[in-house]
Amino acid sequence: MGWRGRINTALVFAAVLMPLQTWAAGKCERLVATGSPDAPPYSWRDPQDPKHLMGANVDLFKQVASELGLKVEILDSGSRSQALEEVRSGRVDLLIDSPFAVAELTTVDFVHPSLLSNEYVVWTRHDSPLVYNTLADLHEHRGSVSEKARLTPEFTAYAKSQLQLARSQNLTQAFQKLLLGQVDYVLAGRYAGMAMAQALGMSNELIARGLPLDRPGLYLALSHNSACNDAWLRGQLAKKLTELPASGVSQAVLQHNVERWKAQMQAPLDAPKQ
């Protein structure tokens, strides 16, 4: 083959290869995401813009997407169950705060590691005589947990068989039961409990004790039916998520959103009475 033939062959090969490379590295320029509308400080409905979500997971995902050159919109789907259905169908590309569930592997790809983890700890009154060092210390005590809590399946099974853990409608109700002496402890997220206690004026009466009992991860979950779900995107997201913990950004973003949520809860209390 002469030099002209070699050049022509190279040009044809380059013409074929270039679109493939572009497709692999930039097939999807915009992602639509959703999550829980009632899981602060990780994800909750933005009161100033109810069609969208706000929270630590929202902020971190936006940062990761921005570093990858992706535009994102994070919508409120109305409820946790509806958010999952939107992702399963492919109408929405991914969930930003999904607990890992084996049953969902047929519909989504979980990106590892998790975006954040929710640390569930034991909350008691400051003057509580409860001695707590291990889970076994809780066996004979009455506890409460919000029905909105999303614990790992392993801990849920343990609690059902070994703990006296009653469900409350929400965290506010669980803390009220604790202050009234109706339960000995509350199992709640470290940061959600902190913000709630401060907003309700209970921070001098309640304390988080010991190490976390459960640490469910909050994952990015890409729909199998999303046109954006490809190996390049999954790999790039995993790389960015692996780098996050060492940067210290996650903790700062989480604390910032604890303060945002606390301020929102206090706003009605501080408003002038009509």
DSSP string, 54-77: ESHHHHHHHHHHHHTT-EEEEE--
- When the candidates are 1.10.10.10, 3.30.1600.10, 3.40.190.10, 2.70.98.40, the CATH number that belongs to 28-117+217-254 is 3.40.190.10
Distance (Å, rounded) from C-alpha 72 to C-alpha 114? Answer: 19
- What's the pTM? 0.85
Summarised one tens digit per residue, pLDDT across range 72-98 is 999 999 999 999 999 999 999 999 999
**Cβ atoms 215, 119 nearer than 8 A:** yes
Domain at 120-214: CATH architecture: 3-Layer(aba) Sandwich (3.40)
Distance (Å, rounded) from C-alpha 147 to C-alpha 186? Answer: 12
> Which residues in the chain are classed under CATH 3.40.190.10?
28-117+217-254, 120-214
What integer pLDDT is reported at residue 82 of this predicted model? 98
Angle at 138 between CA 136 and CA 141, to 5 degrees: 140
> Given a cut of 90, is residue 272 above it in pLDDT?
no
φ and ψ of 90, to 5 deg: 90, 0
What integer pLDDT is reported at residue 1 of this predicted model? 54
Distance (Å, rounded) from C-alpha 64 to C-alpha 70? Answer: 9
Q: If you average pLDDT over every residue of the chain, what do you get?
A: 89
Percent of the chain beyond pLDDT 90? 80
Helix residue spans in the chain (DSSP H): 3-26, 56-67, 80-89, 153-162, 171-179, 190-199, 231-247, 249-270
Percent of the chain beyond pLDDT 70? 88
Residue type, 15: A
What integer pLDDT is reported at residue 20 of this predicted model? 36
Give the distance from CA 104 to its chain's centroid. 16
- Choose among 270, 261, 268: nearest CA to 196: 261
Q: Is the dihedral of CA 81, 87, 91, 93 positive or negative?
A: positive
**Mean pLDDT, rounded, for 128-149:** 94
Residue type, 58: V
SS3 at position 188: strand
What integer pLDDT is reported at residue 10 of this predicted model? 44
